[in-house]
Structure 1
Amino acid sequence: MDETALGLEARPASASAATGRRDGRVHGTPAPEYGEYAPEGWVNPVLVEQERQAAEDRRRDEAQRQDAVTRRAPDPTRPGPDERAGRRTHGPGSPRGSSAAPTSASTSPYGASRLDFVLTVGLLFVGLWSVFGALSTGTVASVTREYVAGQFGEMSSPAALSSAAVVRVVILAVVFALVAWWSVRRLRARRWTFWVPLVGGVVASALGAVPMLVVVFQDPAVQETIRRVSGG
């Protein structure tokens, strides 16, 4: 029976089958023709190439990351910044265990030492107490008048001692303020400071006695007594 008469057309053989070439085969399985289902076991070569390229890209990225980590890792044979700083601090001839900071600075937050801090604060307290005591100008004038009376006799103008006592208070207060300011600055700098209130006390005593002495030795009665005693 003729196949054309039955309505069937003879399908021409594929070019690969006719020529016997195996260009479309992968793993021994022929590639499907146009309009056919892929046979079992056939793998698309385009997908295979894409997977291979993706695997190569992943391996290359991983190699680059490993190289970056290796570059950032510190070299154990090279000294670090801390070690280099330690070498600069200690120097080639100094021991590593030595400390450049003075030991006295660590014993007290202020002053050269705790003893210096205590002495300075104590002397400043004594100076402040002296200033408060000098505020009683009437008592200071009375005590001075009694002393002068015992040495030179009664003064002609004892009331002038009260004014001199006021001037003395001002001098003592100004000197104490300067001494306290200077002492605080030296204590913060951790320098020896106890001698500052001592020197300030001597200066304050000398300056505070000036107005009292001026009033006493300018008094006419006192001057007359001094001339009489000296034989003049």
Structure 2
Amino acid sequence: MTQDEAARDETAHARGTDGAPPARPHDERPRPQYGEYAPEGWTWPPPGEQRPDASGASSHGAPPPPAAPAPAAPAPPLAGATAGQPRTVDRFITILLLALGAVGAWNTSVSLQQLPGAIQTVYSQQGVGTYTPQEWLPTLALVGTVFMLALYAAVLGWSIVRMRAGRAAFWVPLLGGAVAMLATIVLTSIVFFTDPTFQSYLDGMAGA
């Protein structure tokens, strides 16, 4: 028997007596709903682990997910939040002082316009005599009135600017009130000490 005849006999034996190809072994596992079963010998490597490929070399799997970023540190509280209460108190005091200053500036302006009558009332109560207004008294009263109103306007504007900037402003009306009081004393002293009747009264008191 030649080699070709022996090969044909082996092929026929492998195919069977009827010449049909041999049947594949029956898979007793239930048919999967999606896809197919993995071939025998295949294993699933977790991501990041090495697995050998067909050539025997190791290959890396999918890279591990990046680490979650560290939580950001809480922001420090704003300076305005911690200073909210002092600013509220300062604003309340400033507004109250400005209201009182407005009343004071108005009363002082009216008093300067009625200065001759006020001086005569004091003279009558103290027994000084009769007051004779000087020729320049109306001009002095007008200058004093304009000064008081301008002073209050400056105090009001400066206070608003400081409050908007978040700075302490309560001392501005106090300073304006002190300046207004000093100006009133100076104007009144000029009127009294330039009046001849009042000078005669002082001379009489000094001689007595």
Same fold (TM over 0.5): yes
Structure 2 residue corresponding to 1:169, chosen from 120, 138, 145: 145
Between the aligned residues of both structures, percent identity stands at 26
Which structure 2 residues correspond to residues 80-229 of structure 1 after superposition, within 5 A? 83=72, 96=74, 98-106=76-84, 112-136=86-110, 137-151=112-126, 152-157=128-133, 161-229=137-205
Which amino acid in the other structure matches residue 146 of structure 1?
A: T
Counterpart contact for 1:154–1:221, Cα < 8 Å = yes
- Work out the number of aligned pairs and report it: 141
Distance 1:104-1:159 versus aligned 2 partners, 3 A rule = farther
Query: How big is each residue's C-alpha offset from its partner over 1:128-149, in whole Å with a ceiling of 9 and x where there is no partner?
Result: 2222233434434312331244
User: Cα RMSD over matched residues?
Assistant: 2.9
Higher helix share: 1
Query: If the length of structure 2 is used for normalisation, what is the TM-score?
Result: 0.56
Task: Quote the Cα distance in structure 1 between the aligned partners of 2:184 and 2:164.
Answer: 29
Which structure 2 residues correspond to residues 16-95 of structure 1 after superposition, within 5 A? 76=67, 83=72
SS at match of 1:154: coil
- The answer for unaligned runs of 5 or more in structure 2 is 1-65
Task: Quote the Cα distance in structure 2 between the aligned partners of 1:125 and 1:116.
Answer: 14
Task: Quote the Cα distance in structure 2 between the aligned partners of 1:161 and 1:153.
Answer: 18
Which amino acid in the other structure matches residue 132 of structure 1?
A: W
> What's the offset of the Cα at 1:220?
1.0
Query: If the length of structure 1 is used for normalisation, what is the TM-score?
Result: 0.51
Counterpart contact for 2:131–2:197, Cα < 8 Å = yes
Task: Quote the Cα distance in structure 2 between the aligned partners of 1:148 and 1:105.
Answer: 54
Query: How big is each residue's C-alpha offset from its partner over 1:7-54, in whole Å with a ceiling of 9 and x where there is no partner?
Result: xxxxxxxxxxxxxxxxxxxxxxxxxxxxxxxxxxxxxxxxxxxxxxxx
Counterpart contact for 1:183–1:196, Cα < 8 Å = yes
Distance 1:215-1:119 versus aligned 2 partners, 3 A rule = same
Q: Which runs of 4+ in 1 moved over 6 A?
A: 77-80
Distance 1:203-1:211 versus aligned 2 partners, 3 A rule = same
Counterpart contact for 1:164–1:212, Cα < 8 Å = no
Query: How big is each residue's C-alpha offset from its partner over 1:180-214, in whole Å with a ceiling of 9 and x where there is no partner?
Result: 12111110111121121012111111113322220
Distance 1:97-1:184 versus aligned 2 partners, 3 A rule = same
Which amino acid in the other structure matches residue 90 of structure 2?
A: D
> What's the offset of the Cα at 1:150?
2.9
